[in-house]
């Protein structure tokens, strides 16, 4: 579980509910006015409808898995990945037979495939092209998920405004008619609460989720670019000292280690 995501949402919801409680208490009003099923239906239903129009159904159906990906914590340290690559390079210098025995012990599947290509006798250019193509199209797939969240964050306030217009129409239609005063409360509530819901959905959930996924995509791309270089160096049978120094260029200096 990604602690930062969970804590951020909890703090955001806490700030909202605390503000509502304090404002309602000061005005001797009820907090129940902020609960509106009709407003929620307009915003959430309209938002899902919009992304269904904008994206293929297969991508919309993966929304649940995309949300789980946001909350899934990342425990990979690039320094540890460098250590694993250096260890593989040490084995690779002993020969292809020794390297083949160690392939299954490599934890990272992307790097494992790269080392397997070295064992299978792929040329340096073939290995590089295949792995870089995998990076490119993984980014395309994952950026589609990030784009889905960004679109939802963009569309939520728009549907909030649509709900506001609906509420205003109901409110204005009540003037001069029977029960006009009774229509003012529900109309004004729908007009304001839908905008509130749209803003909360956009700024606390979907736009931050999009940014979180983009950050994860950048991290994974950096790690995989480093592993492409590691596979290339293993293919060239470079000394572990050279492998570590080259791969250290991809990671923060505080994670650097030196060969003893």
* 101 touches 88 (CB < 8 A): no
Separation of alpha carbons 229 and 86, rounded Å: 12
pLDDT of the chain along its 260 residues, tens only? Answer: 678 888 999 999 999 999 989 988 888 877 887 888 888 999 999 999 999 999 998 888 888 888 888 888 667 888 889 999 999 999 999 999 999 999 999 999 999 999 999 999 999 999 999 999 999 999 999 999 999 999 999 999 999 999 888 878 777 776 655 555 555 665 666 678 889 999 999 999 999 999 999 999 999 999 999 999 999 999 999 999 999 999 999 988 887 876 55
- Number of residues that make up the chain: 260
Give residue limits of the domains in the chain.
1-35, 37-255
Burial of residue 181 (number of CB atoms within 10 Å: 0-12, 13-18, 19+)? exposed
pLDDT of 63: 86
Nearest residue to 92 via CA among 230, 235, 258:
235
* Orientation of helix 207-235 relative to helix 124-174, angle to 10°: 180
Nearest residue to 187 via CA among 198, 172, 176:
172
Separation of alpha carbons 194 and 44, rounded Å: 10
* 123 touches 236 (CB < 8 A): no
pLDDT of 174: 66
pLDDT of 137: 95
Nearest residue to 144 via CA among 84, 197, 189, 210:
210
pLDDT of 169: 79
Cα distances (angstroms) measured from residue 233 to each of 83, 124, 226, 238, 257: 14, 9, 11, 5, 18
pLDDT of 218: 93
Separation of alpha carbons 137 and 143, rounded Å: 10
pLDDT of 259: 54
Separation of alpha carbons 147 and 249, rounded Å: 30
pLDDT of 224: 95
Structure token digits, residue 26:
């000061």
């Amino acid at each position: 579980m990604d602690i930062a995501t969970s804590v951020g949402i909890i703090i955001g919801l806490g700030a909202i509910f605390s503000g509502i409680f304090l404002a309602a208490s000061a005005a001797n009003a009820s907090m129940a006015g902020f609960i509106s099923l009709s407003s929620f239906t307009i915003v959430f239903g309209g938002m899902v409808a919009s992304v269904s129009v904008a994206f293929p159904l297969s991508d919309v159906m993966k929304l649940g898995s995309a949300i789980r990906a946001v909350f899934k914590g990342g425990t990979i340290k690039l320094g540890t990945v460098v250590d694993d690559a250096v260890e593989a390079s040490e084995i690779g210098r002993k020969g292809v037979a020794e390297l083949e025995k160690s392939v299954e012990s490599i934890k990272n599947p992307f790097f494992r495939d790269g080392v397997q290509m070295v064992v299978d006798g792929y040329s340096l250019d073939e290995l590089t092209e295949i792995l870089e193509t995998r990076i490119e199209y993984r980014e395309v797939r994952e950026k589609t998920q990030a784009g889905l969240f960004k679109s939802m964050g963009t569309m939520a306030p728009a549907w909030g405004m649509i709900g506001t217009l609906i509420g205003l129409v109901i409110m204005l239609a009540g003037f001069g008619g029977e029960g006009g005063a009774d229509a003012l409360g529900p109309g004004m509530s729908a007009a304001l609460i839908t905008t509130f819901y749209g803003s909360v959905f956009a700024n606390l959930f979907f736009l931050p989720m999009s940014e979180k996924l983009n950050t994860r995509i950048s991290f994974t791309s950096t790690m995989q670019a480093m592993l492409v270089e590691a596979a290339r160096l293993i293919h060239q049978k470079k000394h572990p000292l050279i492998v570590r120094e080259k791969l250290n260029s991809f990671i923060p200096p505080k994670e650097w280690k030196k060969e003893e």
